[in-house]
Amino acid sequence: MKGYMKRQAVFACNTCVGPDMEPAGVCLACANHCHDGHDISELYTKRKFRCDCGNQKFDGFTCKLRPEKDGVNVKNVYNHNYFGRYCSCDRHYPDEDDQVNEEMIQCIVCEDWYHARHLDNPAMDSDALMEMICVGCMNRAPFLWTYAAHFAVSPLNEVQANAAHAGDEKSSSSTSCRDVASTSYQINETQMKHESETTRHQHKTNTDRCVYKELKVNDMKKMREAAVFWPYHWRSELCMCTGCKRMYVETGVAFLLDESDTLLAYEKKAETESVTCDDVLLSCISSLDHVQQLDIIYQYNDLKQELCEFLQQSTEEGKDVTPDICLEFLEEFRTRKRRRLSSEGHYSS
């Protein structure tokens, strides 16, 4: 409803859009108001997406919240997630035939979700929040391999380190880049954030210097056949010279320079919007693992966004917001959520 949003929760309506049709996605408000009772799949968040509800992809279906829509949203990017399929294996999720109960990991570039076993690279065990870029996206933006050789948290750096130290004494070459990276994670978050901001400031104030070219000198072009894992502060290392900024645009990854694009920023935004409520929420979920925390945060943000939409609509229609109306809204929200989870196989009574 609000145009191309920087990041928002997106849903696919399997009732309105069949597998033989063009992919389409709808926002949270439309999923709940226009497609209530439909077979809805939750796609989590997507960047720069505009709601398709009621446009020509829906074959005559009209959006109840905003009937006048453009025919298509030309800037939207779609993939097989919109048909309920994920990963390089192109399987549905949840997959009843898959006997391996495995966590899926999202690529920050294409935003597809992958089984860890299909990344050709074991997920790194670290307390630091990390981002992953699949091998396909790495190859579509090949300059990233140079940065991976220096900053990624993956076996790539271990190979680079061993090659760089070939011929040295065993005692001096026993420490791999992964060991160094693991040690660096002991730095507290405040210090890491300060270092990240300092690096970004240095890049911004010296746009003639090309950090990428300096790093490329030592790029040994090894192990370019697997997904890459990154520490959350790695984006601050990207070169900010004019030539590199042009390269980011040409390869479709200019969003990497946007500090608010990260999942960490998305979570931080939720924290700052409602400090009191979020403090309680974060305290309650602190003992859960990261995937469970994200799931609860997504649901919390869903409720908050829909409540804002409800209050705004009530104001525009001149309705009084009474306690009874609020209770009715909450009950309808629970019913829609329960119905959606049941259709996705995540809920049982």
Structure tokens at 105: 């990991």
For the stretch 106-117, pLDDT in tens is 999 999 999 988
Place of tokens 């790029």: 219
What pLDDT is attached to residue 203? 59
Mean pLDDT across 27-43? 91
* SS3 at position 40: strand
176-190, 237-251, 253-267: least confidently modelled range: 176-190
Would you say the C-alpha torsion 131, 136, 140, 141 has a positive or negative sign? positive
What pLDDT is attached to residue 17? 93
In the chain, the amino acid numbered 105 is: I
Average predicted confidence (pLDDT) for the chain: 78
What pLDDT is attached to residue 246? 95
Would you say the C-alpha torsion 288, 292, 91, 231 has a positive or negative sign? negative
pTM for this entry:
0.66
Mean pLDDT across 191-213? 64
What pLDDT is attached to residue 260? 86
Mean pLDDT across 93-97? 82
**pLDDT band (50, 70, 90) for residue 35:** very high
Helix/strand/coil percentages in the chain, nearest 5? 45, 10, 40
DSSP one-letter string for 267-330? HHHHHHH-HHHHHHHHHHHTTS-HHHHHHHHHHHHHHHHHHHHHHHHHHHTT----HHHHHHHH
**pLDDT band (50, 70, 90) for residue 103:** confident
Mean pLDDT across 207-231? 77
Mean pLDDT across 19-42? 92
In the chain, the amino acid numbered 90 is: D
Report the DSSP pairing between strands 104-106 and 113-115.
antiparallel
For the stretch 282-308, pLDDT in tens is 667 666 776 777 777 777 778 888 888
For the stretch 304-338, pLDDT in tens is 888 888 888 887 777 777 888 888 888 888 888 77
